[in-house]
Every structure is written in structure tokens, then in C-alpha cells.
Amino acid sequence: MQEWSPIPPDTSEDAWRVQAEAYRRMGGAGRSAVAFRLTTLARQAARAGIRARHPEYDDDQMRRAFLRLVLGDEVARAVWPGQALVDP
């Protein structure tokens, strides 16, 4: 079994060190801004994927599919009791 490493397998050690140093220089606020931006991009990609798989969904179905994906079936059932789950 391979040991855990902070360096992703598709990244060279030199590239990883440069990136880690850039994050250190950003400080906490800069790293938080990057995290929020990545979260926004991930949510946009998830919504685009749902839209590509289900172009027939209206806005409500899109919202329910996305929230089911993010929050899970248990929460989706609690928020919309009596309604069928919408496939993401």
C-alpha cells in the first residue's frame, strides 16, 4: 500500500512546493478567497452537469436536484416531504 503524501500524484514535487509557497504568501484571507472561488466554480460545474443531463428540468427541479446532490437524500426528503426525489 502506498503511503499518504500531501503531493497529488499528478503534480511534480517542484510544482507542489511553488504552489504551497504561493498559498503561504497569500495569508489566511487570500486562501479563504481561493476556497470560496473554488466552491463557486464547483457549484457552477455541478449545476451545468445537471442541466446537461436533464435539459427538461424547470428551475424548481434544478434547485431540488442540486440540493439533493449537495445535501443528500435524507435532507432532500425532509425539505420536500411527499415529493419524489429529483435525479441530479
Spell out the domain ranges in the chain. Answer: 13-79
pLDDT tens per residue, range 26-57? 999 999 999 999 999 999 999 999 999 999 99
User: Residue 86 is which amino acid?
Assistant: V
Three-state DSSP state, 19: helix
Residue 1 binned pLDDT confidence (cut-offs 50, 70, 90) = low
What sign does the CA torsion over 7, 13, 16, 22 have? positive
0.85 surpassed by pTM = no
Q: Please say whether the beta carbons of 79 and 67 come within 8 A.
A: yes
